[in-house]
């Protein structure tokens, strides 16, 4: 573990996050929560599988995750992202009053929002670009 020598002096303008691309990667969240940043966020991109964040977004940990960013993978060998995975994360964030940002579909998605174009940023026909306060 990195020794945080300046814990009491953590700059307010420094936000810190971790990638959580599927349920197996949620093991990174407890490490993130130990960092005393003003804003801690999860980057669920590329989203490669369903993720249940309820444990981290509700209850006593509510103020500890301040933002969730979701996006699909891009590039020539991009793996598909299910729209159900994006919707589930959006709904979990909405239920916990955590800002949700849908960044992009990526290059492939077999069941993405029909209004989204290649690499688009619409989820269920709308943009989700919420930010922490």
**Is residue 6 situated within a structural domain?**
no
- The reply to whether 7 falls in a domain is no
Is 12 among the domain residues? no
Tens digit of each residue's pLDDT (9 = 90 or more) over 79-113:
889 999 999 999 999 998 999 999 998 876 555 55
pLDDT beyond 50 at 117 = no
**Band (3; pLDDT cuts 50, 70, 90):** low
Q: How much is the pTM?
A: 0.84
Q: Does 11 fall in a domain?
A: no
pLDDT at 55: 80
Query: Does residue 5 form part of some domain?
Result: no
For residues 18-22, average pLDDT? 97
Domain range enclosing 62: 17-127
Domain total of the chain: 1
Confidence grade of residue 56 (pLDDT, cut at 50, 70, 90): confident
With respect to residue 86, please indicate whether it lies within any of the assigned structural domains.
yes
* Prior bond of 120 cis (ω within 30°): no
pLDDT for residue 74: 86
Model pLDDT, residue 10: 79
């Amino acid at each position: 573990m990195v020794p945080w020598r300046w814990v009491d002096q953590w700059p307010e303008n420094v936000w810190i996050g971790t990638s959580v691309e599927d349920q197996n990667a949620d093991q990174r969240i407890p490490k993130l929560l130990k960092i005393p940043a003003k804003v801690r966020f999860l980057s669920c991109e590329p989203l490669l599988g369903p993720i249940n964040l309820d444990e981290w977004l509700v209850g006593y940990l509510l103020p500890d995750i301040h933002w969730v960013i979701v996006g699909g993978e891009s590039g020539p060998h991009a793996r598909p992202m299910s729209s159900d995975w994006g919707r589930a994360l959006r709904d979990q964030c909405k239920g916990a009053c955590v800002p949700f940002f849908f960044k992009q579909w990526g290059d492939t998605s077999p069941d993405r929002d029909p209004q989204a174009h290649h690499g688009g940023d619409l989820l269920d026909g709308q943009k989700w670009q919420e930010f922490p306060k």
